[in-house]
Amino acid sequence: MGDNEFVRAATKADAKDFYRLWQLCFGDTDAFCDWLFHNRFYPEYSVCLEKEGEILSAMQGVPYTIRVRGKDLAGAMLCGVSTHPDHRKKGYMHKIFTHEMNLLNQKGLSLVVHTPATLESYFAYGHYPVADAVYIQGNKPIEPEGKVSFLEKTQWLKLYPLYENNIGVRYSGAVKRTAEEFLRKCNDYASDGGVCIVLRNEEIDGYAFLYSLENEVVCPEAVANDGCYNALLQEIFSFAKGRQVSVKLPPDVDVSFEWDKHVCPKGVAGVSNIGDILKKLEISCPFAVDIFDPIIVENNGVFTFEGTKSGIDPAIKVEAGQFLRVLMGYASLDEIGPFVTILNQDGYDSMKQVLPKCKCYIIDEY
C-alpha cells in the first residue's frame, strides 16, 4: 500500500467524512443523508481507506438477521460502497472489500447481502446473484376507481404483518425485520419524501412506498397479499396520473400480462463464514465439500454439512460464493455446473436432492 495509505475499521468520528463521500458519490439529499447517518451508520461494521488524513474510499455494513431456507443467519447488508471520483481505478475497492469481509468474519457474521447498481463489479470478490426482482414500468394512464388511500405515519406499524407474511418468511435472502426495523425502514423512505399508499378491502391487503417526482413515480417497496398485486398496481398507476412509473416487486408475484414487466438479477451475496452457514442450515447430508475462497482464508478447506472442517474425501470442489447461490436456493448445483468439480458422483447427486431451489428475494438496499 502507498505511503500514508491504509485501510482500517471506521469509528464514530468518521461519520462526517463518510457522509460527505456518500453525498459526493451518490448525490442524495441532505434530508436523506441526515436520516441515514443518524440511524444506519454502524462504524464497527464499516471500513475505509485513508490517505494523508483524508478518507478516499469507504464501505458500510449494516448488521441484520437474514433468512435462508427458513433459518435465521447473522449477516450484514453492504451499502455506500464508494471511492472519491478523483481517486478511482487505483485498486481501492479491492482493498476495502477484502478488509470488510474479513472484519465481518471476525465479528461472527455468516453472510453478506446487497443490491448494487452493477452486480458484475462484485463477481471478482466471490459475490454473485442470489435474487431476482420484477420491475413493472410504464406510463399507462389509469382512472382511479375511488380516492387513492394514503396511510399516515402513525399507522405504519399496522403494515408489519404484511411484510412479515409476504416477504420475511416467504423468501430466502430476505431480512428478518423486527417490528422496530420495519418501522425504521418506513421512516427511511419518509426522510427523502416517500409516501405510503395502501390497498384497502375489508382490511389492508397491500402497501407501496412511493417517491412522487415531477415526471415519474418510483416505488422501491410494494407488498401485497396473494392475488392482490394487480389491484395494488392499479392504485400506484392511478396515483401517478400518467407519469412514468417504476415498481420493484418479488420475482414470483402473479400479475397480469397488461403490465410492462422486466425480470432481472438484483441482489448478490457473499460468504463471510461458510462453516457457520452450513451449521445453521441444518441440512442432512453425509458428504463433504472442498471450498475455496479468494478473500477469507478461514473459508478454505473441506467442510461437512455440519459446518466443521474434515479430513474425509470431498464429493465436490467449488468456490464459496458459487456454493452460496445453491445454499440460498437461487441456483441448483447443475446450474452452477461450470464452477463445480465433481469428485464423487453419488455425493453430488445426494447434494442435489437436499439442496432444491426455493424462492429468493432481497427487498432492502441498505
| Confidence bin at 349 (pLDDT 50/70/90) | very high
pLDDT at 169 over 70: yes
> DSSP labels for 92-134?
HHHHHHHHHHHHHHHTT--EEEE--S-GGGGGGGT-EEEEEEE
Contact 96, 59 (CB under 8 A): yes
Does the pTM of the predicted model rise above 0.85? Answer: yes
Give the model's pLDDT for residue 146. Answer: 67
pLDDT tier for residue 77 given thresholds of 50, 70 and 90: very high
203 pLDDT exceeds 80?
yes
Residue 143 binned pLDDT confidence (cut-offs 50, 70, 90): confident
91 pLDDT higher than 70: yes
pLDDT digits (tens, 9 = 90+) for 28-53: 999 999 999 999 999 999 999 999 99
Half-sphere exposure of 203 (CA within 13 A, CB side): 6
pLDDT band, residue 276 (cuts 50/70/90)? very high
Q: Report DSSP state, residue 242.
A: T
Beta-bridge mates of residue 306: none
Q: Count Cβ atoms within 10 A of the Cβ of residue 244 and give its class: 0-12 exposed, 13-18 middle, 19 or more buried.
A: middle
Domains of the chain and CATH, by start: 5-114 (3.40.630.30), 135-266 (3.40.630.30), 273-354 (3.30.1050.10)
How far is Cα 138 from Cα 313, in angstroms, rounded to an integer?
Answer: 54
Q: Distance of alpha carbon 343 from its chain centroid, rounded?
A: 33
Note the pLDDT of residue 243: 94
CB atoms within 10 A of CB 211: 15
